[in-house]
C-alpha cells in the first residue's frame, strides 16, 4: 500500500504540530447513499483515549510521511494507492482521501 499526501495537507499538519490521522465513517440516522468517511487530525492525547476505550475497534496503518493512520471503523476497503488532500472552503478545512472506500457489494 502506497500512501501519499498533498503538500498543502503536510504544511497544514506541520503548522498544527499533528502527525497522525483518524478515519471513521460518519454515522447518520437516515441511509442516504454510500457512507461518508470522516478524516481528522488526531493528537497524542486523543490516541491515548482511543486505546483506553475497552471495546473500540482500532486498526493502525503506518502513515509513511506521517506517524500513523488510525482506522476506527470496520468494513473499509483500501486500494493500493491512497492519497490524502486538504480542501478549504471559506476557511473551513476538510481532509479528503482517494483510495479508501466503505465496503460495497460488487
Any idea where the domains of the chain sit in the sequence? 2-102
Sequence-ordered alpha helix ranges (H) in 4-91: 7-16, 44-52
> Exposed, middle or buried by CB within 10 Å (0-12, 13-18, 19+), for 83?
middle
CATH architecture assignment, domain 2-102: Sandwich (2.60)
Cα dihedral 73, 17, 61, 56 sign: negative
Q: Are strands 2-5 and 76-89 parallel, antiparallel or unpaired?
A: parallel
| pLDDT values of the chain reduced to their tens digit, one per residue, 106 residues | 899 999 999 999 999 999 999 998 876 656 666 678 889 999 888 988 888 887 788 889 998 899 999 999 888 899 999 999 999 989 899 999 999 987 765 5
The model carries a pTM of 0.83
Amino acid at each position: 500500500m502506497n500512501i501519499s499526501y498533498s503538500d498543502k495537507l503536510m504544511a497544514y499538519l506541520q503548522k498544527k504540530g499533528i502527525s497522525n490521522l483518524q478515519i471513521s465513517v460518519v454515522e447518520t440516522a437516515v441511509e442516504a447513499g454510500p457512507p461518508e468517511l470522516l478524516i481528522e487530525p488526531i493528537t497524542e492525547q486523543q490516541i491515548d483515549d482511543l486505546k483506553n476505550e475497552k471495546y473500540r475497534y482500532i486498526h493502525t496503518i503506518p502513515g509513511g510521511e506521517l506517524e500513523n493512520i488510525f482506522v476506527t471503523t470496520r468494513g473499509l476497503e483500501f486500494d493500493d494507492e491512497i492519497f490524502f488532500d486538504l480542501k478549504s472552503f471559506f476557511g473551513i478545512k476538510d481532509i479528503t482521501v482517494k483510495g479508501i472506500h466503505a465496503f460495497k457489494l460488487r
